[in-house]
Amino acid sequence: MPEKAPDILIQPGEYRVSDGGDVLAAELSHSLAVCLHDDTRGVAGVLHFHYAQTHEGRGIDLTDAILSSHLLLLDLFCKQMRALGARKTSWRVRLVGHIPGEMGMEDPAASVMDLLKVYFDDTRLPVECKELRRKHDILLRLDSHTGRIVVTDAPRAEA
């Protein structure tokens, strides 16, 4: 029996697309994942980026430069999905964000979520948004074949 391939871990500021049944994973910490799946073409992808930086426990305002870089990365991600045959009108779009317990993190997350909802407004299915308020990081895993998403506590580093 063949061994199961390891998850493909996507770091903040990166994306991956797959048409081969890979499991795409992102450890969310002050960040969100854009999960796309086109079941008509068997293509899926995950884009992972920070919605806020922190400085001494406080959120830093999203600037035009940060939002512009997010939009550029989002555009490249979507082009890669289309290069594998995915059609935007068939995409199932799910946004999953990690909101830590610190004060002031809700507004940056909401701003980026709103921006993404508008960007994907022309997809066939409504954009699904899930904001998870947790003190600890979470691990998101997307099965690129089925489009199934599983969110669990992220593994903690050994002390």
User: Residue 18 in 3-state DSSP?
Assistant: strand
Residue extents of the structural domains in the chain: 8-153
CA separation (Å) from 63 to 60, 85, 95, 102, 112?
9, 34, 21, 20, 11
Q: What is the DSSP letter of 27?
A: E
Helix (H) or strand (E) holding 86: none
Half-sphere exposure of 135 (CA within 13 A, CB side): 0
| Prediction pTM value | 0.87
Rounded Cα gap, residues 138 and 6, in angstroms: 18
Architecture of domain 8-153: 2-Layer Sandwich (3.30)
Q: Per-residue confidence of the chain (159 residues) as pLDDT tens digits?
A: 556 678 999 999 999 999 988 999 999 988 899 999 998 998 999 999 887 655 555 555 556 666 677 788 999 999 999 999 998 888 999 999 998 776 566 666 777 788 888 888 887 788 999 988 888 899 999 999 999 999 998 887 654
User: In sequence order, what DSSP letters do the residues of 126-154 get, joined into one string?
Assistant: PPEEEEEE-SS-EEEEEETTT--EEEEEP
What pLDDT does residue 60 have?
53
Other C-beta atoms within 10 Å of 89: how many? 11
Classify burial at 16, counting beta carbons within 10 Å of its beta carbon; exposed 0-12, middle 13-18, buried 19 or more. Answer: buried
